[in-house]
Structure 1
Amino acid sequence: MSIKLSICIATRNRGEFIGETLESIAAQCTSSVEIVVLDGASSDNTEQVVRALQNAVPALRYFRQEKNGGVDRDYDAVVGLALGEYCWLMSDDDLLMPGAVDAVMRAIERNYSLIVVNTEIRNLDFSQLIDGNRLSFFEDRIYPPSQLEALFEQVSGHLGYIGAVVIRRDLWGARTREQYYGSYFIHVGVIFQWPLPNDTLVISQPLVSIRFGNTQWRPKEFEIRMIRWTELVSSLSSISPEVRARCYRSEPWRSIKSLMFYRAKGTYDLGDYQRWVKPRLASRWDRSKAYAVACFPGPLANLIGLIYCSFKYHDSTIHYLDMKASRFFIRNWFRQA
């Protein structure tokens, strides 16, 4: 039987977590589903974990690179290794929920260009539910090609999580991808490069459990969220400037509130100011404010952040947990001392 769905994972140094991820997928595999893992030169036991599972999971194919190409290049490469009609760009530490593959396989039969899956967020060991409906959608939604901007406005933030993306492999291959290497969000660039040929389905039922607080790029979060994401969004000519402006700031590094937020999280410091913010600010006054935030006492910024996030607003719980994960959170601060 031909492969309908390839679940594609680009990984590096995830030996502690990838086994559980693969087991959650393998339990749902059929003869028309494969799992493709591309290892970006892991230095831990990732290879041993995956190869041990291959004996029990014939649908699992593993490829190891001698050199890490970066997340964008590696996801592009793993799609190139896939055989399926569709590719699910899965993360390497989260879990598929029961019935997830069946739900996507049913959707595939309707020839969508793109399928977006909803998610839930749990704590590190999945024992506590943090957000049971990340998209806050309660019914499936279909976006025709003419509604690309509506799709962007309502779903692009969710698509920052790559595991939400199921895309036709031929569509991925037909679009320009190299320009998004280094953006950390190649999938978003591919999707919104220009209108999709067929409809997009957003599945409202959460199909992936995200392991909160386990991202590998937290030390680079300021660069990724404030600079790379902003540059990517500004490059999307298929989305009007008005829609982009409604969704995201064009120069978020000018916001003292945003800078203080990242300072409280422990991901904005003098190094980030010198490399990313100072060259983008012409005004001496603006530079002095950004510099002052970078020098602001981290533990005090974190305490202010914890107090602010204790008030209820959208994502306040997630932001509060982010503050507790900061190197400036008092418990972490004393542990480092």
Structure 2
Amino acid sequence: MIQLSICIATFKRADFIAETLESIVPQLSAEVELVVLDGASPDDTADVVARFTARSPYVRYIREDVNSGIDADFDKVVQHARGKHCWLFSDDDTIVPGAVATVLAELAASDPDLIVVDAEVRDKDLTTVFEPRRLRFSGRRTYRAADSDALLADLGDALSFIGCVIVRRSLWLTRERQRYYGTLFIHVGVLLQAPLACAVALGEPLVRIRIGNAMWTTRGFQIWMFLWPELIWSFPGFSAAAKARVVLREPWRQPQKLLVWRAYGVYTADEFDTRLAARVGNTEGRWMRMLARLPGRLAHVAVVALLTARGHGGASSVYQLVEGSRFSTQLSRAVARLGGFGRGTPTDG
């Protein structure tokens, strides 16, 4: 019987997915399959994956005729899976050697509805570690239905990354899913819409997250200022305090948040007019509009300087700003290097 299906929904990741699959395929077996659903990628994704289906009988590839969006495609790939549990994995990150064995051991021991695993945050080449872990604890934690607030407070931020999630397939299929199409976080909607009988968190990094190549950067302001907080605050079964541990209800009211998104080049006067003008009064609107019109290169240098001054905790943010903003300049790169944050901590791992 297949115990675990590693489920990947992919789109236009031919440049990265080979490294992802290379980390997974050696860990497959008769009880672990890999299912890749391709949302009609126009690049060479099919040819890349074909090399792995030829290597292993435990790899399946499904190609869609049209792209249905990330939420619908993850829903579809779970439906195609045959395992008792599904590891919902990203198409550009990697798992560490022995990760599958660790997950299988936990499934055999506790048979939970959900496992959340820890992850490292690395650069685009996976050679530099910016954050050695995302969970705020090490070791193993168990959450029952009565522990919903603790689960959200402890794991909510980690759940924004789909690759940390292993979910019982039958639970996924019996819960509401289409309601969360378009949120970009269908897995969070499925998991948090009702209490889980048993969830386990493993405070051991089993995943290497690749940053600096996000396809969502241009939509970052909408996603992290609106879609993500609106989703978290939509769930009735959690306290306001637990939700606030994950994200503020209206994070866009914080000047520092708007300044960061201005530095990325995605908070603009048009964004203010479209998303904020009708929500705020004249006084608040004045400074928000002012930030939206701040010269982008000036904002970029200022934010990079502020983040480098914060110390090592800002390294991944500096890297993403320098690599991902249209306002990145030689000056802002120099500021990052002077602060020691041109890169993170080199590793041989």
> Secondary structure of the residue that 2:27 maps to in structure 1?
coil
Structure 2 CA distance for partners of 1:332 and 1:310, relative to 1, 3 Å? closer
Does the Cα contact within 8 Å between 2:211 and 2:320 map onto a contact in 1? no
Q: Which amino acid aligns with 2:142?
A: I
Structure 1 Cα separation of the partners of residues 157 and 204 of structure 2: 17
Structure 2 Cα separation of the partners of residues 85 and 332 of structure 1: 52
- Who is 2:345 aligned against? none
Moved over 6 A (4+): none
> Are 1:272 and 2:271 an aligned pair?
yes
Structure 2 Cα separation of the partners of residues 242 and 137 of structure 1: 19
> Secondary structure of the residue that 1:88 maps to in structure 2?
strand
Does the Cα contact within 8 Å between 1:265 and 1:322 map onto a contact in 2? no
Q: CA deviation at 1:277?
A: 1.8
- Who is 2:240 aligned against? 241
Q: CA deviation at 1:201?
A: 1.0
> Secondary structure of the residue that 1:315 maps to in structure 2?
helix
Structure 2 Cα separation of the partners of residues 139 and 314 of structure 1: 24
> Are 1:205 and 2:215 an aligned pair?
no
> Secondary structure of the residue that 1:133 maps to in structure 2?
coil
- Please tell me the root mean square deviation across aligned C-alpha atoms, in Å: 1.6
> Are 1:56 and 2:55 an aligned pair?
yes
Query: Which runs of structure 2 are paired with 1:187-206 in the superposition (5 Å)?
Result: 187-197=187-197, 199-206=198-205
- Who is 2:40 aligned against? 41
Query: Which runs of structure 2 are paired with 1:156-171 in the superposition (5 Å)?
Result: 156-171=156-171
Structure 2 CA distance for partners of 1:219 and 1:113, relative to 1, 3 Å? same
Does the Cα contact within 8 Å between 2:95 and 2:207 map onto a contact in 1? yes
Structure 1 Cα separation of the partners of residues 156 and 269 of structure 2: 30
Q: CA deviation at 1:332?
A: 9.7
Does the Cα contact within 8 Å between 1:87 and 1:168 map onto a contact in 2? yes
- Who is 1:252 aligned against? 251
Structure 2 CA distance for partners of 1:314 and 1:158, relative to 1, 3 Å? farther
Q: Which amino acid aligns with 2:56?
A: V
Structure 2 CA distance for partners of 1:246 and 1:106, relative to 1, 3 Å? closer
Q: TM-score, normalised by structure 2?
A: 0.91
Q: Which amino acid aligns with 1:156?
A: G
Q: CA deviation at 1:52?
A: 2.3
Query: Which runs of structure 2 are paired with 1:254-333 in the superposition (5 Å)?
Result: 254-281=253-280, 283-312=281-310, 315-325=313-323, 326-331=325-330
Q: Which amino acid aligns with 2:185?
A: F
Structure 2 unaligned blocks of 5 or more: 334-349
- 1:75-99 CA distance string (max 9 Å, x none): 1111111110000000000111000
Structure 2 Cα separation of the partners of residues 242 and 193 of structure 1: 18
Q: Which amino acid aligns with 2:77?
A: V
Does the Cα contact within 8 Å between 1:87 and 1:169 map onto a contact in 2? yes
- Who is 1:185 aligned against? 185
Q: CA deviation at 1:314?
A: 7.6
> Are 1:20 and 2:19 an aligned pair?
yes
Structure 2 Cα separation of the partners of residues 315 and 159 of structure 1: 20
- Who is 1:226 aligned against? 225
Identity %: 39
Structure 1 Cα separation of the partners of residues 51 and 137 of structure 2: 38
Does the Cα contact within 8 Å between 1:227 and 1:276 map onto a contact in 2? no
Structure 2 Cα separation of the partners of residues 118 and 88 of structure 1: 13
Moved more, 85-94 or 207-216: 207-216
Structure 2 Cα separation of the partners of residues 289 and 324 of structure 1: 25
- Who is 2:140 aligned against? 140
Q: CA deviation at 1:143?
A: 1.3
Q: TM-score, normalised by structure 1?
A: 0.94
Structure 2 Cα separation of the partners of residues 271 and 131 of structure 1: 34
Structure 2 Cα separation of the partners of residues 61 and 277 of structure 1: 45
- 1:48-98 CA distance string (max 9 Å, x none): 111222111111111111111111111111111111000000000011100
